[in-house]
Amino acid sequence: MEQPVFPRPLDGTLLPAVPEDGRPFIQALLNAPGWALGFLDRELRLRWANDTLAALVGRPLAAQLGRAVGELWPALSAPLMALCARALKGEVISGTALTCTTPEGAALHLRVSLLPAVAGGLQSGLTLLAQDETQQVREQNFLQQSAECMKSLVDISCDGYIIHDGGTLLDVSRGCASLFDCTPEELIGDQLMNWTAPESRPVFAEAVRKGTDTPYEVFGLRRDGRRIPLQVVAREVDYRGQRARLVALWNISGHKAAQEAAARDESFREQLLGVVGHELSAPLKSLALGLNHLQQEGKLEDGPAARQLTSAARRMDRMLRELLDFIRARMTGSLPLNPAPMSLETAMARAMEEQQKVHPERPLIRAVEGDLRGQWDETRLTQLLEILLSNALQHSPSGNPVELSAKGRQDGVTLAVLDKGPPLLPEEHEALFEPFRKGRKQGREGMGLGLYLSRRIAEAHGGRITVESSLERGTCFKVWLPRQAPVY
């Protein structure tokens, strides 16, 4: 609509035609905050401007009046002059966004309106209205950048996300779309059920109905029909002025594969333990019983051959037990214990008796001091002492004794096995306890699992095992045990 214009001289003051008592109101109206207002003549020279427009130009008002609009805003000259030309032909230009860069390099965002102005029935120029939206645009850009950052953060935190309303997809992340071998545009507007495997649709529908926000698992359906296992966590959110549901997705294909592999390993472990524990131990026990029966009936003389057969059977039995323990330790991470009240003197006596049968010619010395009572697994500690005694007897000169000692203190008990064999190098100490290590060069009996198992037995009791070795003192394996084995 054509607008009247208030004539104003070049000095910017209102003409006397405006009543004196109305001038303050008109002045206040024309300088309303937020709007830049000015009048252009037909040559597009500025004839009047309020304070806001003058501030936008950035020059004193006196320096602006009478200048062409192209001179006032050179950076906007081309688009602004084109709009003015259309307005001079009678078109109302309403809210056109214009952007330019100020001489200082800052972005300036204006929304401009131009209205044809009439005085005395003739078009006298244009009314110019401009609003500075620079701060608003900056805030919108900041919000948009923040939203993009949040989307990127969500993409990093999970494998993808979707936003849906009652199953209709409103927004889909790039990561989520790639899970289904699609683009976000192909998914938005579609029904989520179309991308959920049939067997998982009841689970998903129930979770949506209940508003479940705890993790649950479903199978997604890719474009090619393949299923993909997903873990889902959902939350209610506000999305573009409406309530919607944000769903974060994690691809758990690797986790599922690991579970299946673990199940296969568990099955293999049980089969292996069954084969080794029963199929091999049964004939070995039959062999030992047969040898014993022959000796009792006098059909097998108690000579070197009989002792060699008996020793071989014992060695095979020990190797078999060690192999079973090694498999259990590696498969399950620990050795089973059955702690009960006991005295270490009992385990020491049993271990020494067993080793004396194997090495009847070797002197074994026992020394005890203090209280040796505690809560331990007697069978396991007897096994540990047998391993250490066997190791000492194998790796020390045949004429030298091996000493087994125990010393009770308030915090626990220390067991020690000392032999006078050749000393160990310091760098060999830790390697002794690795599986399938034969230890010192002298003697090659067994599979090299004994010291490994001795450490596992000590650790299972909450204790530790160390070794000290020197030319003067010999080699000493020390085991410290707390009074009570931990309960697992």
> Could you tell me the CATH superfamily of domain 145-251?
PAS domain (3.30.450.20)
Q: Coil, strand or helix: which one is 4?
A: strand
pLDDT of residue 274: 65
List the structure tokens of 128.
């110019």
State whether CATH 3.30.1490.20 applies to domain 3-132. no
Question: Using the 8-state DSSP alphabet, how is residue 257 labeled?
Answer: H
Mean pLDDT, the chain, rounded, equals 81
Residue 8's pLDDT band (cuts 50, 70, 90):
very low
DSSP letters for 374-395: EEE-HHHHHHHHHHHHHHHHHT
Residues near 166 by Cβ (< 8 Å), separated by ≥ 6?
Answer: 208
Of 7-16, 76-85, 129-138, 285-294, give the range with the top mean pLDDT: 76-85
Question: Using the 8-state DSSP alphabet, how is residue 424 labeled?
Answer: P
Give the integer Cα–Cα distance in Å for 35 and 202: 58
Residue 344 has pLDDT above 50, yes or no: yes
Give the integer Cα–Cα distance in Å for 297 and 372: 42
Residue 14 has pLDDT above 60, yes or no: no
Q: What is the pTM of this model?
A: 0.45
pLDDT digit string, tens, across residues 180-228: 999 999 999 999 999 999 999 999 889 888 888 888 999 999 999 999 9
Q: Coil, strand or helix: which one is 89?
A: coil
pLDDT average, residue stretch 420-436 = 83
List the beta bridge partners of residue 340: 376
HSE-CB at 178 with a 13 A cutoff on CA atoms is 9
Give CATH for domain 334-482.
3.30.565.10
pLDDT average, residue stretch 429-433 = 83
| Spans of all domains in the chain | 3-132, 145-251, 264-331, 334-482
pLDDT of residue 251: 92
Domains 3-132 and 145-251 share a fold: yes
Give the integer Cα–Cα distance in Å for 236 and 227: 26
Residue predicted with more confidence, 435 or 368: 368
Region of poorest pLDDT, from 72-81, 441-450, 458-467: 441-450
SS (H, E, C) 280-318: HHHHHHHHHHHHHHHHHCCCCCCCHHHHHHHHHHHHHHH
pLDDT of residue 218: 92
pLDDT of residue 387: 92
Residue 32 has pLDDT above 50, yes or no: yes
Residue 475 has pLDDT above 90, yes or no: yes
